[in-house]
Structure 1
Amino acid sequence: MGSIDLRVSKRLLWVGGAAYPLHNIVRVYTLTVRPRRKDATIRFLKSTTITLATAIALTILSAMTAVASGEAAGLLVTFVWLGTVAAIIYFFVELVLVLSAQSHFVLAVETSGASTAVVTSNNPHHLTQLVGHIVHAIENPEFEFHVTVGTINISPKNYYFGDNVNMYGGTGNVGMVSA
């Protein structure tokens, strides 16, 4: 976890080198982002299954072609299985990275566009206070402040981020069913 400056000055929220106009901020809140361990496990199993099925199919196809032509197909089969092993090792490393990742308590700033800024701190109370400071700055144009907070790089592919919404109807919706 690195550190980054978070400051409000002249109606702009600066998160490191990125500036967010305060009038474009639609939500400031704290949350805990958790790794998508179940999704990573399913992704690993799917990728491994598809890779193994493809390797087996190519091996069978290569053997059938070799029998029909009377030639040896060992080099192609070796190449296919070396690639398969390399792919499975890559999938496994991705899985281990997500399974070993920790949850982070973060402050998120969402804008009316697609931008979201995320910062963290070892002290959750500090982030809750920062939400108040940012909201106060939105309501009071003359208010300015400056703090140093932690920064993290998280991939939305590997973490649950934001709200989960149950949606019924429509097409192409992706969501999470709550139990």
Structure 2
Amino acid sequence: MRSLDLRVGKRLLWVGAAAYPLQNITRVYTFTLTPRRKDATMLFLKRAALTLAVAFGLTILAALSAIGNQSLAGGILMFTWLGAVGAFVFSLVEMFSVVGAPPQYVLAVETSGPSIAMVTSSDPRQLDQLVAPIVQAIENPEAEFQVKVEQLFVNPKNYHFGDNVNMYGGSGNVGVGHS
């Protein structure tokens, strides 16, 4: 991880080179960003089942076409199973990149628009202690401070962000809730 400055000055919150107007900040909080391990495992299993189904289907077609041309059937079989092994290895690597990812304790700053800033620190207490000064800076236009934090590099599709809200009357309705 790379360190960067988080500072408040002149009604702006700077996270590295990104500036957020303090009046547009709607929420400041800390939480543990957890990898979507179950989702990654289920996606791997679905991909593996689909890959095997396609490979077996093409094997049956190759066997039926082998009646007239043995060499063509052998080429189709080789191509089918090499592709299946390649797809399996790709899916396995992708799954382990999520399953092996560590949880990250982060400070998140949400704005009234779609943007969100997240930083981390090797000391989680530092992040917890930053919430109050940022909120005070929102309330006090004269406030200024600066600290070193670490930039967070994660693939958003591999992590759970925000609060999970289960809705009744539908299927698979999970969104991000705001307090």
TM-score by length of 1: 0.90
1:136 match: secondary structure: helix
- Unpaired runs of 5+ residues, structure 2, are none
- Unpaired runs of 5+ residues, structure 1, are none
Alignment-mate amino acid for residue 131 of structure 1: V
Alignment-mate amino acid for residue 107 of structure 2: L
Contact 2:166–2:173 (CA under 8 A) maintained in structure 1: no
1:92 match: secondary structure: helix
1:20 match: secondary structure: strand
1:40 aligned residue: 40
RMSD, aligned CA: 1.8
1:101 aligns with 2:75: no
- Identity %, equivalent residues: 60
| d(CA) in 1 for partners of 2:46, 2:117 | 32
Residues 44-123 of structure 1: pairs in structure 2 closer than 5 A: 44-67=44-67, 69-72=68-71, 73-123=73-123
> In the TM superposition, what whole-angstrom CA distance separates every residue of 1:87-143 from its partner, at most 9, and x where no partner exists?
111111112222221111110011111111110111121111111111111111111
Residue 174 of structure 1 deviates from its aligned partner by 3.3
| d(CA) in 2 for partners of 1:114, 1:5 | 22
Residue 163 of structure 1 deviates from its aligned partner by 0.2
After superposition, the Cα gap between the structure-2 partners of 1:2 and 1:114, relative to the gap in structure 1 and judged at 3 Å, is: same
| d(CA) in 1 for partners of 2:17, 2:111 | 16
Off by >4 Å, runs of 4+ in structure 1: none
| d(CA) in 2 for partners of 1:153, 1:13 | 20
Number of equivalenced pairs: 175
1:166 aligned residue: 166
Residue 153 of structure 1 deviates from its aligned partner by 1.3
